[in-house]
Amino acid sequence: MSNLDLSVHGLSVAKVLRNADPSQLYEEAIRYEPGTTISHTGALIAYSGKKTGRSPQDKRLVRNAESESDIWWGPVNFPLDEASFCINRERAKDYLNTRDRLYVVDAYAGWDPRHQIKVRVICSRPYHALFMHQMLIRPSDEQLESFGTPDFVIYNAGRFPANRYTTGMTSTTSVDVSFENGEVVILGTEYAGEMKKGIFTIMNYLMPKRGVLSMHCSATADRTTGKSSILFGLSGTGKTTLSADPRRSLIGDDEHCWSNEGIFNIEGGCYAKAIYLSRESEPEIFQALRFGAVLENVVYDDAHHHVDFNNSSITQNTRGAYPIEYVTNARIPCLAGHPTDVIFLTCDAFGVLPPVSRLTPEQAMVYFINGYTAKIAGTEMGVQEPQATFSPCFGGPFLVWHPQKYADLLAERIRTHGSNVWLVNTGWSGGPYGVGSRMKLSYTRAIVDAIHAGVLKDAPTQVDPIFGLHVVTQCPNVPEEILNPRTNWPDPAAYDASATRLADLFDENYAQFQAGGVIKGSFDG
């Protein structure tokens, strides 16, 4: 046990385990957390209770004069007054003070020392400590010795509910962030991802304030030149699959920043979806789920502790957390040069977007702010036909500033460093979902390979009359007829109607961010 004095945080628990080794946290979890066990590969299996995913409607930002004018209040960021925050913080501390022992993780967010922040996590569950041990950047013994005062403290009292009668509460769950106090308070949810995304929210505020672009994306680098590529994409678009490229170095799978010096990963680990995982489909992720990793909310057999990754009886959102060095091609430290290519991935279930298009900087801003993909029938109750889904900057729930702030930073970076920007459709071809077919992964990989090789930079293009996109018409190892979606439809008139409808949806969505429609046919120069 550590002799760390937590009285500065209003905590008086005598037994504190600080920056425990995973083996110690395994022992603590097995001893003190009923239901926790070990998989046959050595990963810790833990359960988050009732909440098996984030609670975005319960996230609150403290309204303070210093930051109030910076924050994009409304659909993502709900305000909380200082008094209610103090009540919730006191409630969390009261609960933590009732525990026999607490777990502390002191670590870093951001691989670039010039933009790194120090984070302290205080929690009552060893599973939460192990999770953040893997997700943050782990300090050396020497760094820990001189760690000093953290920039941000997370009080995770997720087993204790918020008081719904506290002003600003709408449920017994509350995840509260105070930029001025440097604190995050978690009540009423034991889902570990709330801590991870709490840090991302903080970085999404701090970095743009310093002129650094924070991004919800994966990143890889050329093993020889160190030049990087970043891939944006919502769930189901292929972001993780395409970044797991054995010929390139992995910088990170989810959260990055783009500074004047290049790009850097925010995290020290990966938090991958585990549903339907197999050794064949995702070998890098599969082999990473070993000793030291956390498997969250999975089902296993009692006899051998083999995990059934196809079983979604607890949740579709089964997850695995592991340190990034468990990925064999990871680049440590997780930094790289300026991206030569910026790739927006979209799974277009309408089947009208081309497999690959070049975007101008102006188009990049618009498609970045829209953050488009599509839901298909069967993914959610009531979805009978493709539905357009928009998430600004491909990470709406975690933004703090208005999306335009991030888009302006992206456009400035693209222009300054001459990055090529691409829209890659991993969705349907030859018709919408139910008529056409899903783009072959081999074709998408060939497109991304050609982008990285620089082959598509000078490839011939033609301007799409509806979207104004510069559609690439030739790509190695991809049939030319696939590259033109209109000619790939059996009924061109049906294609025109569906494409016009989707372009109108783009315009309607973008109108809430900037007056006037700017998508349809606007960037054909």
pLDDT at 517 over 80: no
Whether 209 is catalytic is: no
pLDDT at 519 over 60: no
Whether 54 is catalytic is: yes
Alpha helix stretches (DSSP H) within 68-173: 82-96, 126-135, 141-145
Task: Supply the pLDDT for residue 376.
Answer: 63
pLDDT digits (tens, 9 = 90+) for 169-212: 999 999 999 999 999 999 999 999 999 999 999 999 999 999 99
Give the DSSP letter string of 341-359.
EEEEEE--TTS-S-SEEEE
Task: Supply the pLDDT for residue 194.
Answer: 97
Q: Using an 8 Å Cβ cutoff, are 384 and 406 in contact?
A: no
Task: Supply the pLDDT for residue 385.
Answer: 63
Domain boundary among 212, 245, 263: 212
The CATH number given to whatever domain includes residue 417 is: 3.90.228.20
Give the CA-trace dihedral at 423, 429, 435, 440, to 10 degrees: -110
pLDDT at 133 over 90: yes
241 vs 516, more confident: 241
For residue 405, the enclosing domain spans: 339-511
> What would the 3-class secondary structure string for 410-470 be?
HHHHHHHHCCEEEEEECCEECCCCCCCEECCHHHHHHHHHHHHHCHHHHCCEEECCCCCCE
Choosing from 18, 51, 54, 115, the catalytic residue is: 54
Q: Using an 8 Å Cβ cutoff, are 195 and 187 in contact?
A: no
Provide the pLDDT confidence category of residue 21 given band limits of 50, 70 and 90: very high
Choosing from 60, 91, 197, 358, the catalytic residue is: 197
Choosing from 93, 128, 196, 216, the catalytic residue is: 216
Provide the pLDDT confidence category of residue 513 given band limits of 50, 70 and 90: confident
Decide: helix, strand or coil at residue 503. helix
Q: Provide the domain count of the chain.
A: 2
Task: Supply the pLDDT for residue 1.
Answer: 57
Q: Is residue 364 part of a domain?
A: yes
Task: Supply the pLDDT for residue 39.
Answer: 98
What's the mean pLDDT when you consider all of the chain? 93
Spatial separation of the C-alpha atoms in residues 479 and 486, rounded to whole Å: 14
Choosing from 18, 239, 248, 452, the catalytic residue is: 239
Provide the pLDDT confidence category of residue 281 given band limits of 50, 70 and 90: confident
Choosing from 112, 253, 254, 464, the catalytic residue is: 254
Choosing from 220, 237, 240, 243, the catalytic residue is: 240
- Residues 356 and 503 reside in one and the same domain: yes
Q: Is residue 109 part of a domain?
A: yes
Q: Is residue 263 part of a domain?
A: no
Whether 240 is catalytic is: yes
Q: Is residue 317 part of a domain?
A: no
Average pLDDT for 43-50? 97
Domain boundary among 212, 240, 269: 212
pLDDT at 383 over 50: no
Task: Supply the pLDDT for residue 390.
Answer: 94
Whether 254 is catalytic is: yes
Spatial separation of the C-alpha atoms in residues 297 and 401, rounded to whole Å: 33
Q: Is residue 500 part of a domain?
A: yes
Provide the pLDDT confidence category of residue 387 given band limits of 50, 70 and 90: confident
Residue ranges with strand state E in 158-254: 174-178, 183-187, 213-222, 228-232, 248-252
Peptide bond into 333 cis (omega under 30): yes
Spatial separation of the C-alpha atoms in residues 200 and 204, rounded to whole Å: 6
pLDDT at 85 over 80: yes
Choosing from 23, 235, 281, 328, the catalytic residue is: 235
In this prediction the pTM is 0.93
Q: Is residue 220 part of a domain?
A: no
Choosing from 125, 319, 338, 405, the catalytic residue is: 319
Q: Which two tokens stand for residue 195?
A: 């801590």
Whether 235 is catalytic is: yes
Task: Supply the pLDDT for residue 245.
Answer: 85
Task: Supply the pLDDT for residue 3.
Answer: 67
Domain boundary among 194, 212, 230: 212
pLDDT digits (tens, 9 = 90+) for 422-481: 999 999 999 998 899 999 999 999 999 999 999 999 999 999 999 999 999 999 999 999
240 vs 123, more confident: 123
Q: Which two tokens stand for residue 385?
A: 């036909």
Q: Is residue 344 part of a domain?
A: yes
Q: Is residue 435 part of a domain?
A: yes
Residue ranges with strand state E in 366-418: 372-375, 387-390
The CATH number given to whatever domain includes residue 66 is: 3.40.449.10
Average pLDDT for 211-219? 97
The total of other beta-carbon atoms located within 10 Å of residue 15's CB is: 11
Whether 239 is catalytic is: yes
Q: Using an 8 Å Cβ cutoff, are 230 and 217 in contact?
A: yes
Percentage of the chain modeled with pLDDT above 90: 87
